[in-house]
């Protein structure tokens, strides 16, 4: 496994490792509050994920990291249609709450929008990349 010596990747790996070390220090020596331990564990997980993603990017050849026009067009088309799906789902959720008074709060709508957006963009991106012709 050959790791590329790209300065941006190596600098970002250093940042992710320092986030992990700082969060572990806060968790070990910090105040024993529940919120602080939750934040520290979240930072540790985020730092480990960031490190894993950067390590994966560092082991890929340089030619695989360049985004061509087709991939850009697939991302644009998937993002466009995912936006309309999110807008439609929030509209349906809002009006169903108004009509039937089911008690949906703003936080619930926020999480629903995030979930619908992430899933629909991923599925649409997969679909458009398999479809072949993206116009």
What's the pTM value of the predicted model, to 2 decimals? 0.56
Q: What is the mean pLDDT of the chain?
A: 83
Residue 2 has pLDDT above 70, yes or no: no
What pLDDT, in 10s, does the model give residues 64-119?
666 778 888 888 999 999 999 999 999 999 999 889 888 888 888 888 899 999 99
Give dist(CA 74, CA 104) in Å, integer: 34
Q: What is the DSSP letter of 104?
A: -
Domain map (residue ranges) of the chain = 7-64, 67-131
Structure tokens at 56: 């994966």
């Amino acid at each position: 496994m050959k790791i590329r010596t790209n300065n941006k990747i190596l600098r970002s790996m250093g940042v992710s490792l320092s986030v992990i070390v700082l969060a572990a220090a806060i968790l070990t020596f910090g105040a024993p509050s529940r919120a602080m331990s939750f934040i520290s564990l979240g930072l540790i997980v985020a730092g480990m994920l960031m490190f894993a993603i950067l390590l994966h990017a560092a082991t890929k050849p340089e030619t695989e990291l360049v985004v061509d026009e087709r991939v850009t067009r697939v991302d644009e088309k998937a993002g466009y249609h995912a936006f309309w799906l999110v807008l439609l789902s929030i509209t349906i959720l809002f009006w169903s709450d108004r009509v039937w008074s089911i008690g949906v709060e703003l936080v619930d709508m926020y999480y629903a929008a995030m979930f619908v957006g992430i899933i629909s963009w991923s599925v649409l991106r997969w679909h458009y990349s398999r479809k072949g012709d993206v116009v």
